[in-house]
Chain A
């Protein structure tokens, strides 16, 4: 694939992107308190006095959040640091109750790793992961309820986040999109983050800079904060890179600053924060001991890790003979892969692949359902396909049966029996039908015999119609040939 370039007045520019992804850890309770970490809830109900920063309240670390961070690190094939530590990041904000965020600044729990991405042209790239650490989320400020005041809801305050920092290895909006989607896929497979960007479970800070083609080193970068969809990340990179190119080319300078992406206007704009407003005064959190974990625990977590997307993909290709493209679609979501395997295991894998990627997905689309609430279970679909394989019904009838299954939720065999769709394999019955048709179409038989071979299809159609579609197609063909030849 040709590299992504921005063509300016004075030449070609390359885009350099690094992403800091904040992913909410799946857990019952918060990182340092026993309040619920569930999304939503009435304002200020998922809040303990610890989360609200009351005097004398102290943090106690959640074991499951640590386990989730370790699982994620393992999933990113990254180094797990047995010694890590929490620091305080000090700053004032309305939704930060204690005046500091507890975060792992100097000693993160996860070190270097990598994410493999695949681009639309099949090219595979590795995007480096610099580090990953745990930290607390902040609360929410609500600005549109009152003319002079903002309202504060602390339900999110203290929920556990993972911050996954990439190397500046990303070179195009497409790569950024692929990286985010891949990361999301891995986290969802691991069950460590639900990846729900609408609910803010995943959001990204995007670091963008540009440089002339062939230039060494990096120019000043800008950080676009809190972008909450893959599409917006891609758009933000595009417009921000263009903005920077325009400034450099007109002889200007880029200020290192924080910016916001406005998707309505499709532009980024400066947050205009004063430089000295950011001095986070990190120091080790004295209310917590350093986090020391055992290698044996890491090994245990590793042994219990689910199969990761790449591994699953390779296995599906090997075990079920699916193509690279098909394996990509089938493993995009763990639930799809599970569904597929339930259907394909011990069945005609090719038939299962074709049906799932074809008629079954079409049925889901049509009904607006997802695989999780599919009206047809994997077991039910497997039964349907088995009916094809053992010639109980033919493919055409099977499509009709699937539609009925979607509508009624009934089992395939029940529908086949109720509607009398069982395929006719009785030679006598098919022969009788053929003989009737040949007798009624003597002229066409004559034409066929004089060389008009195309008419064979006509006889097939007429026979199937007479048999209400239930005749075994292979037998119809065979008997037609025999009777027309006589």
Chain B
């Protein structure tokens, strides 16, 4: 059995180049799949089939001449946090419900430059604030995976839940995500796909709607690491419009995939063995250790002593920055306005109606930790704790090349199992946040299924700008796991 939905990004690229398939066929099939499945999954906020079909025709013309960029004719999806010129960009918030940017983010411009075809804008937690995708003003996203024993809707993780679900369900060959505290890795793990959060400064933040400026980083999400490598090579690069962008050449990431791990030192951080870690997570982690050992890596126990402070420090830093970054949504220059008698009344009404509960809670908390008298106690202290977290990693990298850990403390849970206590929800990010805080790169690859048939991911954390070693080690895990399971809801499964 072979269907158009068996293509990975890499194999589709080959098929397009050898003209085994046309871009129009490929794009049409995916548009059809979206129409067939996404009313249920809700992974797209905005679909752009007309533009995609036009772009596919142009791609075919280029491909016929043996031209076209590295992604020519490949259908992907864009997290609705990246501004796309002329295409509604909402951040999954009511307040930007009808916002049409007159500009393009650098990351999506890079993908376009290389010929990728966007099928539309993917759902997320409102302003990327969440790890369930249930905070979207455009409705939650359903994880295409189901438990073996239940039909309950599962969350796809978040905030890049729409990206993860769309990739997992075969609606797109790849997608962009953004990761502030785990927003690429955790949904990738929940949906059984691969995702990379690059080093802070690797991908430009220009044109990407900000959540927390010092943490936000764009990255690729796809069915495997080769696809991620192809996408990352296009997305990454220095951008003079982002003052925090780092001017370093972009390597040919695909070339790193086959390097293997012989002689590589892999660190296992003892602090990640948290109380109450489910046995299945523990087991998959051990499995990962064994796989790497078998492939010739040396496994070393390490300590990242400040790990437990990562999460609370993250929430302070991220929320403080968010409270300021979201001040611009005031109903004056763009976005939805609710009328008010006075300027302040307009602001208060606009922001009360425009933001969802989670966003409001985070704005209020961020405002509080920056308010007079508390800056030193909260924000400054959190940034100092970040330095300690970063030092933990830098010290570890004196002895190891890469760190292996679980991606999340659980697999995907059901929509109605979301804890009501915000702190419990935040704990989802416990393993992903430290790398975000330190600015180091990390990825997640699917490693297996839990006893209820839901995917689990393994995380690799690397040195600054050493995405290549991550890809090499990740690729070994990927091969060993030979994760070929498909979710219940998938484009290639006819109803």
Chain A interface (Cβ < 8 Å from any Cβ of B): 49, 52-61, 88, 90, 92-94, 97-100, 150, 152, 279, 281-283, 286-289
Q: Are B91 and A99 in contact (CB under 8 A)?
A: no
Q: Are B344 and A92 in contact (CB under 8 A)?
A: yes
Interface residues of B in 367-407 (CB under 8 A from A): 367, 370-372, 375, 379
Shortest Cβ distance from A410 into chain B, in angstroms? 55
Q: Are B243 and A281 in contact (CB under 8 A)?
A: no
Q: Are B324 and A99 in contact (CB under 8 A)?
A: yes
The answer to whether B99 has its CB under 8 Å from any CB of chain A is yes
B324 contacts which of A55, A90, A279 (Cβ < 8 Å)? A90
Q: List 24 A-B contacts (CB under 8 A).
A: A54-B101, A54-B333, A55-B89, A55-B101, A55-B210, A56-B101, A56-B207, A57-B207, A60-B240, A88-B324, A90-B323, A90-B327, A92-B347, A93-B343, A94-B332, A98-B327, A99-B328, A100-B324, A150-B343, A279-B372, A281-B323, A286-B212, A287-B210, A288-B243
The answer to whether B96 has its CB under 8 Å from any CB of chain A is yes
B375 contacts which of A55, A99, A281, A288 (Cβ < 8 Å)? A281
Q: Are A60 and B241 in contact (CB under 8 A)?
A: yes
Q: Are A54 and B243 in contact (CB under 8 A)?
A: no
Report if A61-B83 is in contact (Cβ < 8 Å); known contacts: A55-B328, A281-B324.
no
Q: Which 8 A-B pairs have the closest CB atoms?
A: A99-B327, A281-B370, A286-B213, A286-B214, A56-B207, A55-B209, A53-B328, A98-B328
Residue of B nearest to A91 (CB): B327
Interface residues of B in 216-258 (CB under 8 A from A): 240-244
Residue of B nearest to A52 (CB): B333
The answer to whether B110 has its CB under 8 Å from any CB of chain A is no
The answer to whether B431 has its CB under 8 Å from any CB of chain A is no
CA distance A53 to B324 in the complex (A): 12
The answer to whether B290 has its CB under 8 Å from any CB of chain A is no
Across the interface, which residues of A come within 8 angstroms of B241, CB to CB? 58, 60
Residue of B nearest to A53 (CB): B328
Across the interface, which residues of A come within 8 angstroms of B213, CB to CB? 286-287
Across the interface, which residues of A come within 8 angstroms of B212, CB to CB? 286
- B contacts with A: majority SS: loop
Q: Are B333 and A283 in contact (CB under 8 A)?
A: no
- A contacts with B: majority SS: loop
Across the interface, which residues of B come within 8 angstroms of A98, CB to CB? 327-328
A283 contacts which of B210, B243, B324, B328 (Cβ < 8 Å)? B324
The answer to whether B272 has its CB under 8 Å from any CB of chain A is no
Across the interface, which residues of B come within 8 angstroms of A150, CB to CB? 343
Q: Are B324 and A289 in contact (CB under 8 A)?
A: no
CA distance A94 to B209 in the complex (A): 21
| A49, A55, A58: residue with the most chain B Cβ atoms closer than 10 Å | A55
The answer to whether B102 has its CB under 8 Å from any CB of chain A is yes
What per-residue 1/0 map shows which CB atoms of B241-282 lie under 8 Å from chain A? Answer: 111100000000000000000000000000000000000000
CA distance A58 to B96 in the complex (A): 19
Q: Are A56 and B333 in contact (CB under 8 A)?
A: no
Across the interface, which residues of A come within 8 angstroms of B207, CB to CB? 56-57
Q: Are B332 and A152 in contact (CB under 8 A)?
A: yes
Chain B interface (Cβ < 8 Å from any Cβ of A): 82-83, 89, 91, 96, 99, 101-103, 105, 205-210, 212-214, 240-244, 320-321, 323-324, 327-328, 330, 332-334, 343-344, 347, 367, 370-372, 375, 379
CA distance A288 to B214 in the complex (A): 10
CA distance A150 to B332 in the complex (A): 11
Residue of B nearest to A278 (CB): B372
Q: Are B334 and A287 in contact (CB under 8 A)?
A: no
Q: Are B83 and A56 in contact (CB under 8 A)?
A: yes
Q: Are B210 and A56 in contact (CB under 8 A)?
A: yes
Shortest Cβ distance from B495 into chain A, in angstroms? 38
Q: Are B242 and A58 in contact (CB under 8 A)?
A: yes
Across the interface, which residues of A come within 8 angstroms of B372, CB to CB? 279, 281
Q: Are B243 and A94 in contact (CB under 8 A)?
A: no
Across the interface, which residues of B come within 8 angstroms of A61, CB to CB? 243
Across the interface, which residues of B come within 8 angstroms of A56, CB to CB? 82-83, 101, 103, 105, 205-210
Q: Are B375 and A282 in contact (CB under 8 A)?
A: yes
Q: Are B343 and A94 in contact (CB under 8 A)?
A: yes
Q: Are B375 and A54 in contact (CB under 8 A)?
A: no
Q: Are B327 and A55 in contact (CB under 8 A)?
A: no
CA distance A97 to B243 in the complex (A): 20
Report if A289-B328 is in contact (Cβ < 8 Å); known contacts: A56-B210, A279-B371, A281-B367.
no
CA distance A98 to B321 in the complex (A): 13
Q: Are A287 and B371 in contact (CB under 8 A)?
A: no
Residue of A nearest to B216 (CB): A286
A289 contacts which of B89, B244, B343 (Cβ < 8 Å)? B244
Q: Are A287 and B243 in contact (CB under 8 A)?
A: yes
Shortest Cβ distance from A34 into chain B, in angstroms? 10
Residue of B nearest to A86 (CB): B243
Residue of B nearest to A154 (CB): B333
Across the interface, which residues of A come within 8 angstroms of B347, CB to CB? 92
Shortest Cβ distance from B145 into chain A, in angstroms? 32
B333 contacts which of A53, A60, A282, A287 (Cβ < 8 Å)? A53
CA distance A281 to B363 in the complex (A): 13
CA distance A281 to B347 in the complex (A): 18
CA distance A190 to B243 in the complex (A): 29
CA distance A279 to B374 in the complex (A): 11
Shortest Cβ distance from B433 into chain A, in angstroms? 17
Across the interface, which residues of B come within 8 angstroms of A58, CB to CB? 205-206, 241-243
CA distance A98 to B343 in the complex (A): 15
Across the interface, which residues of B come within 8 angstroms of A57, CB to CB? 206-207
Residue of A nearest to B346 (CB): A94
Shortest Cβ distance from B450 into chain A, in angstroms? 37
Report if A281-B328 is in contact (Cβ < 8 Å); known contacts: A56-B208, A58-B241, A97-B333.
no
CA distance A58 to B205 in the complex (A): 8
Across the interface, which residues of A come within 8 angstroms of B343, CB to CB? 93-94, 150
Residue of B nearest to A60 (CB): B243
| B99, B105, B210, B367: residue with the most chain A Cβ atoms closer than 10 Å | B210
Residue of B nearest to A59 (CB): B243
Q: Are B370 and A49 in contact (CB under 8 A)?
A: no
Across the interface, which residues of A come within 8 angstroms of B367, CB to CB? 281
Report if A55-B91 is in contact (Cβ < 8 Å); known contacts: A279-B372, A281-B371, A283-B320.
yes
CA distance A98 to B328 in the complex (A): 4
Residue of B nearest to A50 (CB): B241
Across the interface, which residues of A come within 8 angstroms of B328, CB to CB? 53-55, 97-99
Known: A281-B372, A283-B370. 11 other contacts (CB 8 A): A54-B333, A55-B96, A56-B105, A57-B206, A58-B241, A58-B243, A59-B243, A60-B243, A99-B324, A152-B332, A288-B243
Across the interface, which residues of B come within 8 angstroms of A99, CB to CB? 324, 327-328, 330
Shortest Cβ distance from A88 into chain B, in angstroms? 5
Across the interface, which residues of A come within 8 angstroms of B83, CB to CB? 54-56
Residue of A nearest to B103 (CB): A49
